[in-house]
Amino acid sequence: MHKSRLRVAIILAAVSALLCAPCSAVQKRTIKRVLDPVIVTGVQLSVFKGADIDSLRVYAAKNGKLTPIPFQIDERGPDGNFVFKGGKDSDNGRLDANDELVFMARDAGGTADKKAWPKGVTKSATVEIRDPVDGGKAWVYIFSFKGKAPARSGRDYAGCTSGCNRIDAYCYEAGFSRRAPMAFDNLTIKKTCNGPGKDAMDRLKVRFHGETKLKIVIDRHEEDFTSKVAGVIDGPVRVIRSTENRMVLVGRLPTPSSVSEQIYYADSFVFPIIVNVPVSLDTFMNDTWLRVTSESAYPPKTRFYNSRNKKGVLIDGKMSAEEKNLDAGSYNWQVVAFDAPPLTGAWLNRLDFDKKKTPARIELYYMDDINVKDPPDEYPGQIGNLGYYLKDVHRLGAGHHVLSTIMYAIPSYKPGDEARVMNVVDKPLKVTVK
């Protein structure tokens, strides 16, 4: 009798396991990262090669139910450059190897059973993203449809207006100066990300100084640059803003134009500063530097930190002893954080460049004294005017030198939080397509 009951129990357990196999196969999202944009190349999406881009949709699962998420597919031409509105791509709106699909890691979900798929799917791909730091995972599903595809997600993380001179993203607003069109005059953290929701910025300052070997001094600033918007891609996940920039160096002689492609996401953006050196400057110039800083319009209750000054200092328009003694050496990141709860939002800034091509000597510039002038500007004085010095520009070789500032608007900051933000670039998510 005992053996008979044991056999029945074993059989029931086996049947139960088989019945629950589909349930156990469904996995929940375990990834914690939310700042990362996820880019999937056309090469990885070979199953959809030649598909009409308008026929594709991206879904994520929550509790086993699939819903559409924001995504966009940005086309690239044969030269590898983005195809902007009005431009032409040789694939005529069909997916090819050099296109890229982008979505936000925050929108990825768990896995879903095939029974949960929407109707009308002709082809599919599962995208798995994995955090190399802790092994967390999440998934999205890409589908192609025959005929009219289902509605897209209604969320839009970033957009631009006023000739794309104003950016409106989920966590921030950004705007460009009329007097200096290549420079920001507005960087606002929205209330949705624990910011004040009003502009506290003076402007972005780009200052160049050089002295020729004949002792002729050349000083230029952001108002000596010309900048025009050359192309825009405005999708639900990111805005790509292409500008053509020139600087008048000597007299009315401009430097060759350089093209800068800025990319704006929900809570971050990439802003390249391009140093265009037409010829080697070392033969006729010395004592050269480039300074790129941003400055506050009024003394907000904020604190400054960077990788060499982790204790932080108060920004209030008056240089304290701690501020005067800041370590001005080369840094990896810097933070300006509001310190007046519930205002706890922060900007984290990192500077990326090719250290082999651009053997630059980068140092901190920091001035927090309302009585120290630094014209031209929107407001006199320097309140939290901080950024980087690029020393010995004349030692750079001829060519384009790109220094990319990456800004993250985060809802709060305490020392140590920078690691998870730096991981976006330093330890990128692993993307697998099946």
What's the token pair of residue 118?
């929407």
- Examine residue 14 and state whether it is found in any structural domain, yes or no: no
In the chain the first and final C-alpha atoms are separated, in Å, by 50
Residue 290 shares a structural domain with residue 314: yes
Of 125, 155, 185, the residue at which a domain comes to its end is 155
Q: What is the pLDDT of residue 286?
A: 85
From the list 359, 36, 409, the residue with the least C-alpha distance to 195 is: 409
Whole-number Cα distances in Å, 191 to 76, 300, 349:
35, 15, 20
- Rounded to whole angstroms, the Cα distance separating 277 from 390 reads 14
β-partners of residue 19 are none
From the list 172, 149, 146, the residue with the least C-alpha distance to 71 is: 149
- Examine residue 406 and state whether it is found in any structural domain, yes or no: yes
Residue 190 shares a structural domain with residue 279: yes
CATH number, domain of 181, equals: 2.70.98
Q: What is the pLDDT of residue 396?
A: 82
Q: What is the pLDDT of residue 410?
A: 98
Question: Does residue 376 have a cis peptide bond before it, meaning omega lies within 30 degrees of 0?
Answer: yes
Report the number of distinct structural domains present in the chain: 2
Go through 181-190 and write b for each residue having 16 or more CB atoms within 10 A of its CB, e for each that does not. Answer: bbbbbbbbbb
Q: What is the pLDDT of residue 229?
A: 95
Residue 107 shares a structural domain with residue 239: no
Residue 360 shares a structural domain with residue 256: yes
Max Cα separation, the chain?
108
- Examine residue 6 and state whether it is found in any structural domain, yes or no: no
Residue 320 shares a structural domain with residue 360: yes
- Examine residue 429 and state whether it is found in any structural domain, yes or no: no
Q: Which residues of the chain have pLDDT under 70?
A: 1-24, 86-90, 248-257
- The sheet carrying 361-369 orders its strands as 217-220, 201-212, 285-296, 382-391, 361-369
Q: What is the pLDDT of residue 52?
A: 95
Of 133, 155, 177, the residue at which a domain comes to its end is 155
Residue 322 shares a structural domain with residue 176: yes
Count CB neighbours of 297 within 10 A. Answer: 18
- Rounded to whole angstroms, the Cα distance separating 315 from 212 reads 36
Residue 188 shares a structural domain with residue 246: yes
Question: Does residue 342 have a cis peptide bond before it, meaning omega lies within 30 degrees of 0?
Answer: yes
Q: Are 42 and 49 in contact (CB under 8 A)?
A: yes
Residue 131 shares a structural domain with residue 176: no
Q: Are 110 and 65 in contact (CB under 8 A)?
A: no
- Examine residue 8 and state whether it is found in any structural domain, yes or no: no
Residue 111 shares a structural domain with residue 201: no
What type of residue sits at position 221?
H
Residue 128 shares a structural domain with residue 250: no
Q: What is the pLDDT of residue 204?
A: 96
From the list 68, 72, 48, 49, the residue with the least C-alpha distance to 60 is: 68
- Examine residue 225 and state whether it is found in any structural domain, yes or no: yes
- Examine residue 383 and state whether it is found in any structural domain, yes or no: yes
Residue 55 shares a structural domain with residue 133: yes
Residue 214 shares a structural domain with residue 363: yes
Q: Are 187 and 174 in contact (CB under 8 A)?
A: yes
Of 132, 155, 178, the residue at which a domain comes to its end is 155
From the list 263, 274, 386, the residue with the least C-alpha distance to 331 is: 386
Question: Residue 107's domain spans which residues?
Answer: 37-155
Secondary structure in 3-state letters for the chain: CHHHHHHHHHHHHHHHHHHHHHHHHCCCCCCCCCCCEEEEECCCCHHHCCCEHHHEEEEEEECCEEEECCCEEECECCCCCECCCCCCCCCCCECCCCCEEEEEHHHCEECCCHHHCCCCEEEEEEEEEECCCCCCEEEEEEEEECCCCCCCCCCCCEEEECCCCEEEECCEEEEECCCCCCCEEEEEECHHHCCCCCCCEEEEEEEEEEEECCCCEEEECHHHEEEEEEEEEECCCCEEEEEEEEEEEECCEECCCEEEEEEECCCEEEEEEEEEECCCHHHCEEEEEEEEEEEECCCCCEEEEECCEEEEEEECCCCCHHHHCCCCCCCCEEEEEECECCECCEEEEEEECCCCCCCCEEEEEEEEECCCCCCCCCCCCEEEEEEEEEECHHHCCCEEEEEEEEEEEECCCCCCCHHHHHHHHHCCCEEEEC
Q: What is the pLDDT of residue 300?
A: 80
- Examine residue 405 and state whether it is found in any structural domain, yes or no: yes
Whole-number Cα distances in Å, 406 to 46, 243, 332, 385, 403:
31, 17, 11, 18, 10
